[in-house]
């Protein structure tokens, strides 16, 4: 049952990749907030206006949508994109 509750992803921040386990029932706005707080604890500061983009999939995730609605699965990669593009 634990497989149905969470998914393992890679979070790309510039050239660094951080392995994360996120709940399937997380909304994009909430994941952005949690990522910001976790990165601050790690000493990594990112701009407040960043976006999350799923690598290799040409779709936009709505801020109020759950990630499971977009078939996010184990091994998928999410990248932090700033207005500057990286």
pLDDT digits (tens, 9 = 90+) for 20-74: 888 888 888 988 998 888 888 888 888 888 999 889 887 778 788 887 787 788 9
**Domain that residue 37 falls in:** 2-81
Specify if 86 maps to a domain: no
Specify if 24 maps to a domain: yes
Average pLDDT rounded to a whole number, residues 7-11? 92
Specify if 55 maps to a domain: yes
What's the CA gap between 78 and 12, in Å, rounded? 6
Q: What local confidence, expressed as pLDDT, does residue 56 receive?
A: 86
Specify if 7 maps to a domain: yes
Q: What local confidence, expressed as pLDDT, does residue 45 receive?
A: 84
> What confidence tier does 1 reach under pLDDT thresholds 50, 70, 90?
very low
- CB of 64 closer than 8 Å to CB of 29: yes
What's the domain count of the chain? 1
């Amino acid at each position: 049952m634990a497989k149905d509750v969470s998914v393992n992803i890679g979070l790309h921040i510039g050239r660094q990749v951080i392995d994360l386990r996120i709940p399937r029932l997380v909304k994009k706005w909430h994941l952005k907030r949690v990522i910001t707080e976790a990165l601050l604890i790690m000493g990594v500061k990112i701009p407040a206006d960043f976006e999350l983009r799923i690598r290799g999939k040409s779709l936009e995730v709505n801020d109020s949508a759950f990630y499971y609605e977009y078939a996010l699965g184990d091994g998928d990669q999410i990248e932090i994109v700033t207005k500057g593009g990286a």
